[in-house]
Amino acid sequence: MAEEDKPDIRERLRAHGPKILSDQELVALALRTGSKNRAVLNLATVVAKTIDTEKPEFLFARLSALEGMGETKAGTVLAALELGRRYGGNMARKVHTAADVFPLVQHFSDRKQEHFISVSLNGAHEVLAVRVVSIGILNRTIVHPREVFADPLSDRAAAVIVCHNHPSGQLEPSEEDRSITKRLTGAADILGITLLDHLIISPKGGYFSFVEAGIPLS
């Protein structure tokens, strides 16, 4: 979308509220302008991907180094994220069911590639972090327990919930989804972390929970 088309985002925000906007559009509103070589939505796409994949402690430096960003825009984006965290209270919430996790990951449901996400929880099942572990090609992602549990171990997490989106819109787990879940449960047991559930989300809305469906995780 060209720079001159940006007001359409504001019109939809005014008419329907922020929930209707994509991650890229929300970032574009925070950035306000692009750069000489990148329209604002183009830049916002790069910024959103960086937010998805970069560790929080390196995010400011990583965003600042992007072409068209700098410290001022990076600070604006991080301030917006922190305000959302404080007022939304997502990271303070306790997880009791899959329905408690879904609001934390539902914005990944419309991604065109599979995103595999881990949610770290402490001993009281309070959310410590939500991270993208891997991004697949087209409709398949490769997941290794090493990548899934590396950051939760650093978080000193007691439990993890994993999630991934199905760009096809199909919520039912595939045989590969079931196999990955069993592998992750076995690895979690060795590491002393509990894998609580595996969620699948769809651009058509809703989620599938292995636990709620009665499918054994191991």
User: CA dist 67 to 62, 81, 155, 193, Å?
Assistant: 10, 20, 31, 39
- Output the pLDDT for position 198: 96
User: How far is residue 134's CA from residue 147's CA, in Å, rounded to a whole number?
Assistant: 8
Domain-wise residue ranges, the chain? 3-88, 91-209
What is the Cα–Cα distance from 145 to 154, expressed in whole angstroms? 14
Residue at token pair 């916002």: 44
Task: Encode pLDDT of 60-74 as tens digits.
Answer: 999 999 999 999 999
Number of helical H runs and strand E runs in the chain: 8, 5
Residues 137, 113 contacting (CB under 8 angstroms): yes
pLDDT confidence tier of residue 1, bands split at 50, 70 and 90: very low
Please report where in the chains the tokens 């940006």 appear, as a residue: 6
The CATH label, of 3.40.140.10, 3.40.50.300, 3.40.50.800, 3.90.1150.10, for the domain at 91-209 is 3.40.140.10
Higher pLDDT, 96 or 159: 159
How many CB atoms sit inside 10 A of residue 178's CB? Answer: 15
The first and second tokens of residue 91, run together, are 């990271």
Per-residue pLDDT band at 15 (split at 50, 70, 90)? confident
